[in-house]
Copies of this chain bind each other. A is one copy, B any other.
Amino acid sequence: MQLMEEMILTHGKVLPGNILKVGSFLNQQIDTRLLRKCGEEILRLFSGCGITKVLTIEASGIALATATGLELDVPVIFAKKHITSNVDGDVYSTTVHSFTHNTDYSVVVSRDYLLPTDKVLLVDDFLANGAALRGLVALCAQANAQVVGAAIAIEKCFQGGGDALRASGLRVESLAEIESMEAGNIIFRS
């Protein structure tokens, strides 16, 4: 998606540790014009797939998931990172490793919201090693829900998670695919 690539080149900052900072338009401050275009593009990519739910992990994927759900006209579900007092006991749960924070965390979603009849589109802002996305796939497997595919704003291809998931049979559509960003020089997959 050309607009996403342009925004990354214009406003993204490459920080040490292969971190791409897109806080000015994607995950601290959201450019709603860009976000609407992302939702429209995801609708185009997955139209006719019979999607019934959008599933993301809090917190940074919520905005894109919301825009996608508004475009597809289906409910959006947030898998939560902690069991809070507002979550009933009856949940699907899996463990995800965060490479950013070097820690494991639990991801839970209520059994009431993810059903065997659901056709689920996974949405997240970033795809790097794929740990978060594998966690969402695991939650859907527990629910016997069908995963239609995954829609990602920015894939860091060089970290391999996206291609591994594609090799496993998951349809992964990333709006911008970064092949490398060595020395701060961002190269997109052609």
Interface residues of A in 1-51 (CB under 8 A from B): 15, 17, 19, 21, 23-24, 27-33, 35-36
Q: Please encode chain A, from 110 to 129, with 1 for each CB lying within 8 Å of some chain B CB and 0 for all others.
A: 10110000000000000000
**In the complex the two chains form, is A78's CB within 8 Å of B66's CB?**
no
Given A17-B85, A63-B66, 9 more contacts at CB 8 Å?
A21-B86, A23-B113, A27-B86, A28-B77, A28-B110, A29-B76, A30-B76, A62-B63, A66-B66
Residue of B nearest to A55 (CB): B29
- Residues of B contacting A80 in the complex (Cβ-Cβ under 8 angstroms): 28
Query: Bound state CA distance, A70 and B101, in angstroms?
Result: 31
Q: Please encode chain A, from 88 to 109, with 1 for each CB lying within 8 Å of some chain B CB and 0 for all others.
A: 1000000000001100000001
Q: Please encode chain A, from 53 to 93, with 1 for each CB lying within 8 Å of some chain B CB and 0 for all others.
A: 00000110011001101100111111010001111100000
| Chain A residues engaging chain B, CB cutoff 8 angstroms | 15, 17, 19, 21, 23-24, 27-33, 35-36, 58-59, 62-63, 66-67, 69-70, 73-78, 80, 84-88, 100-101, 109-110, 112-113
Are A74 and B23 also in contact (CB < 8 A) when A100-B84, A100-B85, A101-B84 are? no
**In the complex the two chains form, is A66's CB within 8 Å of B62's CB?**
yes
10 examples of A-B residue contacts, CB within 8 angstroms: A21-B88, A23-B86, A23-B112, A27-B86, A32-B70, A62-B66, A63-B63, A66-B66, A67-B70, A70-B70
Number of identical monomers bound together in the oligomeric complex: 2
Query: Bound state CA distance, A87 and B19, in angstroms?
Result: 11
* Closest beta carbon of chain B to A65's beta carbon, Å: 8
Query: Bound state CA distance, A185 and B85, in angstroms?
Result: 21
Query: Bound state CA distance, A48 and B86, in angstroms?
Result: 37
Which residue of B15, B32, B110 is within 8 Å of A75 (Cβ)? B32
